[in-house]
Structure 1
Amino acid sequence: MTMICLIRHGETDWNAQNRIQGRTDIPLNEKGKQQAIQCGKYLALNDWDVIISSPLKRARQTAELINENTNLPITIMDDFIERCFGDGEGLTFSERQERFPDGVIPGYESTETLILRIMSGIEKINEQYPKKKVLLVAHGAVISSILSHLSNGEIGSGKTRLLNACISNLQFTENKWMIQNYNQVDHLEK
C-alpha cells in the first residue's frame, strides 16, 4: 500500500502576519527553518522512499531541511503548488474581507480546479511510487483541500486550520485513500 505523509511548510513572515501567500514566493523565516529541522528529525525515525515538494521556495526549503536528516531523493511536482489567491495575495484575512466583501476575488483559483489538480497529483504519486512511503511537502490550502476531499468535507477546508510544519498521513488501501491522522504537531517544540 502506498503511504503519503503530507507536511505543511514551515512558518514564513507572512504566516506570522496572517497574510495570504498563495503563489507569492515567500521564504521560510527562522522559526520556519527550525520547524522543518524538527520535522526532519522526527521523520528520520521511520523509513521513507522519496520527498516530493511544491516548487515554491517555502516548501522546497522545508523539504531540503527535512532531507538533512532523511537523505532522500527530492522531486518537485507542480501539481502541489499553493492555490492561487489572485488579488487576495499579500492581504490579511480582514483586509481581504474589506476589499472583497462579496467574496469574489479576481484571479482566485476555483475549488473545482484546485481539487482536480491536486487529486491528479495524488494519483500520479500512487502510480509512480506504488507501495512506497512518500513525504509530500505542500501548503495549507492544498493539504486542507486534499483532506476535505477525502473526508467528504468532514475535515480540512473551512473546518481545520492546519498549523505550520504539521503532519497528516494518508494510506492507499482497498483502492481508496484513507486519512490516518491530520494536523499532527507533537514533533514540534512548544
Structure 2
Amino acid sequence: MTTIYFVRHAHSIYTPDERERPLSEEGWQAAERVTEVLKNESIDVVIASPYKRAIQTVEGVAKHFQLPIELEEDVRERLLSLEPVQDFEQAITKVWENPLFHIEGGESNIIAQERGVSCIMRILEKYKGKNIVIGTHGNIMVLIMNYFDSKYDFLFWKGLQMPDIYKLTFTENQLVQVNQIWKEDFVKNV
C-alpha cells in the first residue's frame, strides 16, 4: 500500500503573482493545525507545488519529520487563464461543465488532469509503499481524484475547505480508499 495525503493549501493573501502568494495570518494558524494532524501519521516523503502557499502549508510537517520538501511543478494549480477572469465563478463552472473547454491560454480539465495524474503515477512508482504528503491546490487535487473516481467533481471541489486533507490509499496505481482526515473542529478554531 502507498498512501498519499493531499493537503490543499491554507488561506492565502491574494496577489496577482500566483507563485509567490503567501499564507495569511489565518492560513499560518491553520498550517500549524495541519502539522498537528499529520504528525500522528508516519510520513516518509513531503512534496509540494512550487507555489509559496502550498509549500508554507506543509513546511511544518517536513520540519517535524526532518524531511526536505521536494518541489513538483505538476501538482501546481490548474491554469484557468493567462489573464485575470472577469467572473471567476462563471469561468470555473464552464471548465467543469465541459472537460475539453479552456479559456485562451488556460488549461481544460482534461489537460490539467492529464498533467496531474501523470505526476501522481510517477510519485506512486518512485515511492511505492511509502506515506507521502503532497501540498497542492483544490482544483488540481480534485481533478486528480476525479480520474480515479468520478464522484470527486465540481460540487466536491466547491465543498473543500482551506486547508483540507485527504488520505488516498493505493495498491500499485489503483485507488482503494479515500478518507478526509482534516477535522472540522480544527477549521472552526482558526
Shorter-normalised TM range: 0.7 to 0.9
Higher share of residues assigned helix = 2
Among residues 21, 24, 30, which one is paired with 2:25 in the alignment?
Answer: 30
Tell me the equivalent position of 1:172: 170
Hey, what's the Cα distance between the residues in 2 that align with 1:188 and 1:32?
A: 12
Give the Cα separation in 1 of the matches to 2:143 and 2:181: 13
- CA contact 2:124–2:173 (8 Å) conserved in 1: no
TM-score by length of 1: 0.82
Q: Please give the residue correspondences for 1:31-110 in structure 2 after superposition, counting only pairs within 5 Å.
A: 31-87=26-82, 89=84, 93=88, 105-110=103-108
Q: Which amino acid aligns with 1:6?
A: F
Percent of paired sites with the same residue: 30
AA aligned to 1:12 is S
Q: Structure 2 counterpart of 1:125, which letter?
A: I
CA drift at 1:157: 3.1
- CA contact 2:50–2:76 (8 Å) conserved in 1: yes
> For the Cα contact (< 8 Å) 2:7–2:58, is it kept in 1?
no
Question: Contact 1:38 / 1:187 at 8 angstroms: preserved in 2?
Answer: no
- Conserved 8 A contact 1:115-1:149: yes
Q: Contact 2:7–2:166 (CA<8 Å) still a contact in 1?
A: yes
CA distances 1:118-153 after superposition (whole Å, capped 9, x unpaired): 0011111111101000001100111111122211x2
What runs of 5+ residues in structure 1 fail to find an aligned partner?
A: 98-102
Q: Is the 8 A contact 1:7 1:168 kept in 2?
A: yes
- Cα shift at 1:92: 5.5
Whole-Å Cα distance in 2 between the matches of residues 94 and 170 of structure 1?
Answer: 28
Number of the residue aligned with 1:3 = 3
Per-residue deviation, residues 11-35 of structure 1 (Å, max 9, x unmatched): 0133xxxx9x794531111111111
Question: CA, structure 1 residues 43+25, in 2 after alignment: closer, same or farther (shift >3 Å)?
Answer: same
1:118 to 116, 119, 128: 116
The structure-2 alpha-carbon separation of the partners of 1:87 and 1:169, relative to structure 1 and needing over 3 Å to count, comes to: same
Count matched residues.
179
Quote how far apart the aligned CAs of 1:182 are. 3.5
Alignment of 1:125-144 (within 5 A): 125-144=123-142
CA distance in 1 between counterparts of 2:144 and 2:121 reads 12
Tell whether the 8 Å contact from 1:44 to 1:69 is kept in structure 2 after alignment: yes
CA distance in 2, matches of 1:66, 1:9: 13
RMSD, aligned α-carbons: 2.6
The alignment partner of 1:86 has SS state of: coil
